[in-house]
Amino acid sequence: MDATTGTVIMILCYVFGTGLMIAEAFMPGFGVAGISGIILEIIAIVLTGTRYGLLWGLIGTFGVLLFAGVAVFISYRSAMKGRLSKSPLVLKGAEKSVSSAPDLKSWLNKEGAAVTALRPAGFIEIDGTRLNASTSGEFLEKGAAVRVSGAEGDHLVVRKL
């Protein structure tokens, strides 16, 4: 293998390995992308170390880690405050819950229906508003008619009608 081909392979391993590790940062769990990225980075570091010496291999390792860290930081910041936060990819269509409202007592004695099964916690809907709720230990099926009997912390306590 001539010098140009070896250098191109080394650079491609760095680039694709870093890209796969960044992609893995946004996927749940640890899978094929992360393992493949780590393997490509190790190959690139070994190629750099054998071709240019151990010091350059360490510098390449530090550079990859720094680049991946900056890329993840920028992506995370964009997801929280930037353009990506306005994207449909970031829970834009998620329903808002009123359960964090300071005055849950205003829902007392109102009737609604279980949106999810309450085992014993889940969601109910009253007058088109989705709310966090729980029972006193009983299990209620989805669609069961409920009445709010109390409020505890950040959720309502309901009982079956």
Where do the structural domains in the chain lie, given as residue ranges? 3-86, 98-160
In 97-161, alpha helices (H): none
> What's the rounded Cα separation, in Å, for the pair 158 and 136?
8
pLDDT tens for each residue of 55-90: 888 888 788 778 778 877 877 777 677 665 565 555
Whole-number pLDDT of residue 158 = 94
Q: How many of the other CB atoms lie within 10 Å of CB of 10?
A: 20
Instruction: Say whether pLDDT at 111 is over 90.
Output: yes
- Alpha carbon 26 to chain centroid distance? 7
Q: Give the mean pLDDT of 121-140.
A: 90
Instruction: Say whether pLDDT at 100 is over 60.
Output: no
Whole-number pLDDT of residue 124 = 94
What is the widest separation between alpha-carbon atoms in the chain?
80
Instruction: Say whether pLDDT at 6 is over 50.
Output: yes
Percent of the chain topping pLDDT 70: 83
Instruction: Tell me which fold the domain 98-160 belongs to.
Output: OB fold (Dihydrolipoamide Acetyltransferase, E2P) (2.40.50)
Token pair of 2 as six digits: 């001539």
